[in-house]
Amino acid sequence: MVKESYSAEVPNYGDWSKGSHEINWSRLVYQRKYWLPKLLCIKINLLNQEDNIYTFKFSLDTVLSTDEPNFNEDLLFHCNLLQENIGACDVFAADSADEEYIQTLYVEWELLPPGKRDAYIVSTPEYF
């Protein structure tokens, strides 16, 4: 906490017709840190439209450089901003084509193919 001083002009004996005087007082207050807005915009691009399936690309209007001293903090801020507003985040080079972005959205493999659950359980020895 830091000491902060205040002052105010007040009436004499509570009556402005009798004049006024200035009073000063100090008190301990918590320090505050102000964060100015970064004025970022989320851009939305329609990349592909087939039947009733639409593919959108959300991106921020600021390009980050790895040479900047606050790169890690800025990258984390940008990722958090996209996570909060869109629910997903990924990092791409600024000059990457939209086709490269679309290729990363869909994969041909299955994480767990259909079958029985018991086939994937690996028995491990128990330790006491």
Predicted confidence pLDDT, tens digits, the chain (128 residues): 999 999 999 999 999 999 999 999 999 999 988 888 889 999 999 988 888 888 888 989 888 888 999 999 999 999 999 999 998 888 888 888 888 888 877 777 777 767 666 655 666 666 55
* Boundaries of domain holding 67: 42-103
Total number of domains constituting the chain = 2
Phi, psi of 4 (to 5 degrees): -130, 140
Which tokens belong to 18?
């009798």
Same domain, 47 and 14: no
pLDDT of residue 51: 86
Which tokens belong to 51?
């039947």
Between CA 92 and CA 105 the distance in angstroms is 13
In a domain, 115, yes or no: no
Which tokens belong to 82?
């996209």
In a domain, 122, yes or no: no
Which tokens belong to 64?
């980050």
88-95 contacts: CB < 8 A, separation 24 or more? 94/63
Same domain, 17 and 48: no
Same domain, 10 and 30: yes
